[in-house]
Amino acid sequence: MAVRNNSLSAQIDNYSNQMQDRANAAVLELYGELVKNTPVGNPSLWLSGYHPKGYVGGTARANWRIVETPDNEIIHSTSVPTTPTLPTQWTKLYIINNVPYIVPLEYGHSRQIEAGWIRRSVDRFNLILRGQN
């Protein structure tokens, strides 16, 4: 009987590891899609054409992060973020972007990408998790 319990336990562990790997892959795919799709400020496309002296686009793109605990930190960088390392244990993860204009970008403030780009990515993520991609 102990052999069956060990075998069942190993199968459950294996299934849990497979699900964790699948979830992590989906999180990384969503994260990468959000980073890639985030518009980078281009003053030549702005209606006003005005930009602050020394303006460099890319802050919104640089502020995507995967965290276990949400915070209010804003990254003052324009570098494309590196792919994060995800935990190997089950945990709740958040993909956040704390720049104050990320919501206006989502709702069509940029002419570089269609309104709803974040929501479409999240919808696709949910399909991937359900195995319906």
Which residues are bridge partners to 93 per DSSP?
none
d(CA 53, CA 47): 17
Mean pLDDT by 10 residues, the chain (133 residues): 68 84 88 94 79 84 92 87 80 91 92 94 88 69
- Which residue type sits at 125? F
The answer to whether the beta carbons of residues 30 and 121 sit under 8 Å apart is: yes
What is the structure's pLDDT at 1?
46
d(CA 80, CA 12): 38
What is the structure's pLDDT at 34?
96
CA 65 to chain centre: 7
Cα three-residue angle 112-48-64, rounded to 5 degrees: 40
What is the structure's pLDDT at 47?
73
